[in-house]
Amino acid sequence: MATLMTNLLLTACIALFLVSAATAVGDSPFIIAHKKASLTRLKSGAERVSVSIDIYNQGFSTAYDLSLVDYSWPQDAFDVISGNISQSWEKLDADGILSHSFELEAKKQGMFYGAPAVISFRIPTKAALQEAYSTSILPLDVLAEIPPEKKFEW
């Protein structure tokens, strides 16, 4: 009986330790970022790429000193038309959302495979900056030769 009581007490202590460890980890911010890109063909034969990145804090505490950088757009293939490929924010509260967008103009034809954007942020309980990555985008067929549409052909 004493052995059973000792095992039960030991099991309860281990369970309490695991729950408190999980709760301690759960008190930090959890950053999720979704990157989207869409192509828009202009009448002049040029093509624009609209990029938007949504950043979500799914954790239970605030993330501070957020910095977003998206260096996946090479300067020899794209020109920034509006916005910036980087952005900073002071904080992102728990369950908060931040959005950033910019527009590029394509200079080269071909398939483009974009890398994820990098989000760095600070947690008050840790000295080192934390990093999160956005989703990557689907391949873009930039300046693709599109055959003319035959609207009246059956």
Q: What is the pLDDT of residues 30-66, one digit of tens each?
A: 999 999 999 999 887 789 999 999 999 999 999 999 9
Q: What is the pLDDT of residues 108-117, one digit of tens each?
A: 999 999 999 9
In tens, the pLDDT along 73-83 reads: 999 999 999 99
What sign has the CA pseudo-torsion 110, 40, 44, 149? positive
What is the residue whose two structure tokens read 């990029």? 51
**Which CATH fold topology does 31-139 show?**
Immunoglobulin-like (2.60.40)
Q: What is the pLDDT of residue 127?
A: 85
Going from N- to C-terminal start, the domains of the chain cover 31-139
Q: Average pLDDT of the chain?
A: 84
Element spanning 8, H or E:
helix 2-26
Model confidence, pTM: 0.77
